[in-house]
Structure 1
Amino acid sequence: MTTTRFAPSPTGYIHVGNLRTALMNYLIARKAGGTFILRIDDTDPERSKEEYVDAIKQDMEWLGLHWDKVERQSERLDRYAEAADKLREMGRFYEAFETPTELDLKRKKQLNMGKPPVYDRAALNLSDAEKEALRSERGNGVWRFKLDHERIEWTDGILGDISIDASSVSDPVLIRGDGQVLYTIASVVDDTEMGVTDVVRGSDHVTNTATQIQIIEALGGTCPRFAHHSLLTGPQGEALSKRLGTLALRDLREQGVQPMALLSLMARLGSSDPVELRSDMAELIEGFDIHRFGAAPTKFDVQDLFPLTARHLQSLPLADVADAVADAGVPAELAEPFWAMARENITTLSDLKGWWELCRDGAEPLIDEEDREFIAAAVALLPEGPFNGETWGEWTKAVKEATGRKGKGLFMPLRKALTGMERGPEMASLLPLLQVIRARG
């Protein structure tokens, strides 16, 4: 059975970059009828906060990315300890004591000599007495996994055939000096024990994947299929890393972005297929193919979400937006005709309030000097009401006959006088909703 996972750290709110990873893993699982796991990477007790765990779940529920089960790495520390002991017994795990400053000096020296700046494994030469002395002086060291210096190869679902020389990579630190288990080993143990078959993540993890493949093999596990998606950039190709905090999913929600608009964009962005607004999750699942995505950095422009949101809203029946219409102040008896009028003229649901204020309070007439006599004559012909869908046509016909005006010269001045705007909804739909018409004077 296909099993995928999304493994966010609860150290902040998830953003569009996280969503890309979550969505791809979700769609793969759902298309195969498999299992999607939400795995909370909370092994860092100082930075992990329960409020962010709740926020991650809220954001995913808002988008409709429903998980089959939740796992928490903080509840699996005994499993990681067992894996670490197994690696020690195999001679693949060793303690190292260099300070960050010492490591930096080593890297600089290697670079000056034209060598790759990888850890030199000096700790492997320490005697037990030397290790004990260093522990007394510096505290516990970090625990590194000893890589086999051979080529690590796999066929990536997006990048194609990958081959990395393990000798060009530092032996990865799996456990910090303070005992904190790091993602690299925790993820391997979890993926193996949870039967994860497919892993999609950012291309900045390619080297991590290489080292994890060796750890998986050392522990006797089966490697999942890996795919590494491109990283997002800004619309001009600029790095998004410093802006991701402003692209949190809850911020986009606050701005009125609709879930299906966001999902439709992210499910195609960076692929060879055009972005198409989908009506529901089933369409997204059916149209998804991880192999259609490319390796090149992918431009993301938050402004692209708003036309998609507008188009999505236009497709919705009143039942789907009834709460928003009511929140805008629209009486229940007017909700249906109001939504029919407004839906084509909003970008987000927050725009509904402005349209209802226009209907309820009227607008300051916008009348050009040369149109004043015409408007006065037209308003005199406007019936008292109540208005219906035929009123606009009947009134403009009468005004045309009385004044001789027609076309744009007839309709535009009347729209501006009634709404204070040069463009907007069909007047036949809007006129019956106008509670106050200030142009009557």
Structure 2
Amino acid sequence: MTVAVRFAPSPTGLLHIGNLRAALTNWLFARKEGGTFLYRLDDTDEERSRPEYAEAIEEDLRWLGLTWDRFARESDRYGRYAEAVEALKKAGRLYPCYETAEELGLKRKALLAQHRPPLYDRAALKLTDADRARLEAEGRKPHWRFKLEHADIGWDDLIQGKKHFHGRDLSDPVLLREDGRPLYTLTSVVDDLDLDITHIIRGEDHVTNTAVQIQLFEALMAAEGRGAVPTFAHFPLIADSGGQGLSKRLGSLSLRSLREEEGIEPLALLSYMAALGTSDAIVARASHEELVAHFDLSHMGRGTPKFDPDELLRLNAQVLHALPFDAVRNRLAALGMAADEAFWLAVRPNLGKLTDARDWWEVTHDPVVPLVDDAGFLAKAAELLPPEPWGPETWGQWTEAVKAATGAKGKALFLPLRRALTARDHGPELKTLLPLVGRERALARLSGQTA
């Protein structure tokens, strides 16, 4: 059996890290098992689906390098869903219901007031042909529910272990709206059957859906004579650092925001999300291949993982510190820095985000207002500044000469020079930064001039 998994987002908003957990876990599982990864756009919610969100989802996946082997779009498959509906009707598993949303809401409230679960009472099954004709003559159009069998439903979940439900404890789900459009419960199962999905890996908020859908899988398999029920795995949902759940519209944790506003590197985000909530150490991985090599679904825990932005930023710095110049050349140019390898190697160890390089580009290429603590000390240092050309050894030679001439050492020697040359208290090693500043700028800044 060839493993086949899917990531099936709805284009109703920007992807956030909760969505990423589903996409990445499925992608890693497929690659580890030598299987296929399907990207399926679940876009039958026509009121809320937007083409710009569909474009954003694809952009996010490509940015992360989560390439797909197959693509499907639910809005292209309405005819197939209609066939499945007819098969279920013929098998006696779909029945028409005529309650309005308001009537169903009142039933729900009444049950909750009695401390009973808000299950549909199957009143529509008691309607006669005459009742249905009368309701339709009044202008009512039916929605269609799937009739669950009152039987045991169970499966061995790859993350949560044995799961058990009973059909009598579940509400018959609506599969078809009054306007004839199919709902997620139906379309997802039809797609998974048709596209030979072998494993469904998704959040634990779908556990009850799975119990319902297992019966729907079995009903369609019996009606159409093909297919197999997939294997299921349900992972815990991610919470924020305060323990609150994540919303699809929580912009601060959307993938677009993390990329464009927070400056997060794709491998940093993937490394963090691959290890979050598992027994694996959270470390920066150097490649997608390394991520796959270390992936094991059995390492995923059942506790609620908390997303820690500080941990992600730590990984982001680690990833940047390992990037070769060729990997960032074009990105630096896009940020207005015609940088060379010497500049990148000098500033790379001090970056938390790539955009931080701009700060050091300004130090080495733009006018800087020096911070002067002791003008006399800086004047003596300027006298001792060696002629160019400069290399990594220049800083050590120069500071040794200044130390011998002034008696300054340690912080008293190095900090005034750094503050004058860079207008900052901290930063890259000056043995690599000084040659980039150059002698002309250095002399001017040591003299207290903006240069």
* TM-score where L is the length of structure 1: 0.95
2:281 to 251, 274, 278: 274
Amino acid in the other structure paired with 2:414:
F
Q: Which residue of 1 aligns with 2:265?
A: 258
Q: Distance in 2 between matches of 1:33 and 1:25?
A: 12
Q: Does 1:18 align with 2:23?
A: no
Q: Which residue of 1 aligns with 2:291?
A: 284
Q: Does 1:78 align with 2:79?
A: yes
1:294 to 294, 301, 323: 301
Indicate the SS of the match to 1:340. Answer: helix
Q: Distance in 2 between matches of 1:327 and 1:17?
A: 30
The answer (yes or no) to whether the contact 1:41–1:73 under 8 Å persists in 2 is yes
Task: Report Cα offsets for 1:11-42 as digits up to 9, x if no partner.
Answer: 22211111110111111111111111111111
Q: Distance in 1 between matches of 2:193 and 2:162?
A: 23
Greater shift after overlay, 118-127 or 414-423?
414-423
> RMSD between aligned alpha carbons?
1.6
Q: Which residue of 2 aligns with 1:428?
A: 431
Q: Distance in 2 between matches of 1:329 and 1:214?
A: 58
Greater shift after overlay, 132-141 or 257-266?
132-141
Task: Report Cα offsets for 1:374-394 as digits up to 9, x if no partner.
Answer: 222112211353432221111
Q: Which residue of 1 aligns with 2:214?
A: 213
Q: Does 1:327 align with 2:344?
A: no
The answer (yes or no) to whether the contact 2:378–2:447 under 8 Å persists in 1 is no
Q: Does 1:388 align with 2:391?
A: yes
Q: How does 1:109-258 map onto structure 2 within 5 Å?
A: 109-220=110-221, 221-241=227-247, 244-254=250-260, 255-258=262-265
List alignment gaps of at least 5 residues for structure 1. Answer: none
Indicate the SS of the match to 1:36. Answer: strand
Q: Does 1:361 align with 2:342?
A: no
Q: Distance in 1 between matches of 2:241 and 2:136?
A: 50
Amino acid in the other structure paired with 2:330:
D
The answer (yes or no) to whether the contact 2:325–2:341 under 8 Å persists in 1 is yes
Q: How does 1:28-43 map onto structure 2 within 5 Å?
A: 28-43=29-44
**Identical columns (%):** 51
Task: Report Cα offsets for 1:386-432 as digits up to 9, x if no partner.
Answer: 43222111111110111111222211221112111111111100000
The answer (yes or no) to whether the contact 1:233–1:299 under 8 Å persists in 2 is yes
The answer (yes or no) to whether the contact 1:200–1:229 under 8 Å persists in 2 is yes
List alignment gaps of at least 5 residues for structure 2. Answer: 222-226
The answer (yes or no) to whether the contact 2:203–2:235 under 8 Å persists in 1 is yes
Amino acid in the other structure paired with 2:100:
T
Indicate the SS of the match to 1:219. Answer: helix
Amino acid in the other structure paired with 1:48:
S
Report the count of equivalent residues: 437
State the 1:244 CA deviation: 2.6
The answer (yes or no) to whether the contact 2:365–2:437 under 8 Å persists in 1 is yes
State the 1:110 CA deviation: 2.2
Q: Distance in 2 between matches of 1:131 and 1:8?
A: 37
State the 1:47 CA deviation: 2.3
State the 1:328 CA deviation: 4.2
Q: Distance in 2 between matches of 1:234 and 1:11?
A: 22
Greater shift after overlay, 418-427 or 137-146?
137-146
* TM-score where L is the length of structure 2: 0.93
Q: Structure 1 pair 270/343, CA: closer, same or farther in 2 (3 Å)?
A: same
State the 1:50 CA deviation: 2.2
Q: Which residue of 1 aligns with 2:314?
A: 307
